[in-house]
Amino acid sequence: MVQHPTDIAKRTHLIVEVTPRWREFVSHQGTDWTTRTLKQTLEGHWVRFTGWLFWDFEHAHNAENTNPGVSSNWRATAWEIHPVTQIKICPGTPQSCD
């Protein structure tokens, strides 16, 4: 996830993880959270993700906030939303999700 559509550098990415258990849980409610469907429906839209804030210490050395300026960084921060428990596409701007 990125803050702006022009943020293509990997070091600007915030990681959100949809776990297999949550995929199964929402599937029983008639919602499709497969990778293919999420990519098709979310890409290019403002999206609000809800879930647990998780410090992924295993990737702190890959994050710009904890290991700044390293060319191999592939994430902005070691913080993640993991697992994602709700996904909402915003109808317009991010403020429209409020």
What pLDDT, in 10s, does the model give residues 58-88?
Answer: 999 999 999 999 999 999 999 999 999 999 9
User: Rounded CA gap, 54 and 68, in Å?
Assistant: 20
Q: Specify if 22 maps to a domain.
A: yes
The one-letter amino acid code at 55 reads W
**Domain count of the chain?**
1
Residue 40, Ramachandran bin (φ over 0: left; ψ between -120 and 50: alpha; else beta): alpha
Domain residues for the domain of 81 are 10-91
Backbone dihedral angles phi then psi of residue 65, each to the nearest 5 degrees = -75, -25
Residue tagged 């994050």 (tokens)? 63
Note whether residue 44 is domain-resident. Answer: yes
Q: Looking at the whole model, is its pTM more than 0.75?
A: yes
Angle among Cα 27, 2, 36 to the nearest 5 degrees reads: 30
In a domain, 33, yes or no: yes
